[in-house]
Structure 1
């Protein structure tokens, strides 16, 4: 009799016989973190409906923190799977596409009627398209190794944080009247377009993989200080984070162009060396 619940990650029958004794918890842990992120995103939507915007922002930020953990946890435990990647994309679309769009719409754009809803739709659709393109790019084996230092377009978690910048400013006391709804809608669409653009942004995946021993204590102190500031002045810190992220994009563009030029120059030199070696082999002895 076949099992009522099929395995999450189907494998050939021969391997399945060896796995019937059970699945180690380390195989489940990354997916559990992803599901918690999905729950945080869905809860943020509920909080937005109830008008509890601070808790809605907290839910999306918490989802972003969990999103930064689950992939690294899967790679650390060597439990990456196609199922986990698909589940992660679904959670990201809800938490960083639907959640922020719905939150900004309920907070300020509902006064614009259909135009406000269209702006929210554009942002959510751009987030979905960005995630689909990211998954497709992962399967490209011809990418140069230095591409891992960059994202193509603004990643979904960063886009979600940047999209909520007007709400952060409002909670900081910066006036965001109903008349500013049009500007908020245009800003939301702009962030959505940045997510699906070809604009390179720094990934930071390999940053901080190893920390020099002499800076371990300063890093720990800085981490505690940032955590204290985030808890004491959450919207101010989130606004600063969003502004700094948007401000880094011109520098990321310059770094991308520099690395691309270096790669093209190296490829050209390699092609010249290969051509010279072939000509030497073909020359009469």
Structure 2
């Protein structure tokens, strides 16, 4: 039972990799679906670790690595392949910005020693979910709008803005202290 959180995290990573593969093959709707499946796994791996009392550095590191693939790389790759594959060097650089900021946010989270209420910076899972949704509809927007979405979501991930945790949204009466992810 103690391995269940890691199995769920590996489900997240597998779903993210399948999203990348589907995007490469032009199956953008399926790729986005796999990102949302990864979100399901990501929601429950931490929950399982807390309930089974098996939280640890290994699980935290594995989760962050999976998140960079599933919510940092896969969504922006879908965007790039779906509507931006003929953009300038600026477009390519901005495409790289999103997973870089996601990785920075996760590294900051992994180095924090104290718990806080909610999240500092937009969680990469949420940013990746928004990016994947936008990526699916990106052919209907200009490259300038895509650039703006990338910059805003990237900036929000590394910002000091506090975001509520899912626990705070679903059960606002409870005063849960959560690690910023």
Q: Give the TM-score band, short-chain normalised.
A: 0.7 to 0.9
- 1:66-103: CA deviations, max 9, x gaps? 10000000111111121111100100111111111111
Larger radius of gyration: 1
**Cα 1:27–1:119 shift into 2, 3 Å:** same
- The one of the two structures with greater contact order (alpha-carbon pairs below 8 A, sep at least 6) is 2
In the TM superposition, what is the alpha-carbon distance from 1:207 to its structure 2 partner? 5.0
Q: Tell me the distance in 2 between the aligned counterparts of 1:165 and 1:45.
A: 15
1:53 and 2:28 matched = yes
Q: Residue 163 of structure 1 aligns with which residue?
A: 131
TM value normalised by structure 1: 0.57
1:176 and 2:140 matched = yes
- 1:207-259: CA deviations, max 9, x gaps? 54699xxxxxxxxxxxxxxxxxxxxxxxxxxxxxxxxxxxxxxxxxxxxxxxx
Secondary structure in structure 1 of the residue aligned to 2:34? helix
Q: Residue 32 of structure 1 aligns with which residue?
A: 7
Q: Unaligned stretches of 5+ in structure 2?
A: 174-181
Aligned residues: 173
Secondary structure in structure 2 of the residue aligned to 1:84? helix
Q: Tell me the distance in 2 between the aligned counterparts of 1:186 and 1:115.
A: 12
- The equivalences for 1:112-191 within 5 A come to 112-137=87-112, 139-140=113-114, 147-148=116-117, 150-169=118-137, 176=140, 180-191=142-153
Secondary structure in structure 2 of the residue aligned to 1:51? coil
TM value normalised by structure 2: 0.88
Q: Residue 50 of structure 2 aligns with which residue?
A: 75
Q: Tell me the distance in 2 between the aligned counterparts of 1:79 and 1:206.
A: 23
In the TM superposition, what is the alpha-carbon distance from 1:163 to its structure 2 partner? 1.6
In angstroms, what is the RMSD of aligned CA positions? 2.0
Q: Unaligned stretches of 5+ in structure 1?
A: 1-25, 212-285
Q: Tell me the distance in 2 between the aligned counterparts of 1:209 and 1:70.
A: 19
Match for 1:195 among 157, 161, 180?
Answer: 157
**Cα 1:204–1:73 shift into 2, 3 Å:** same
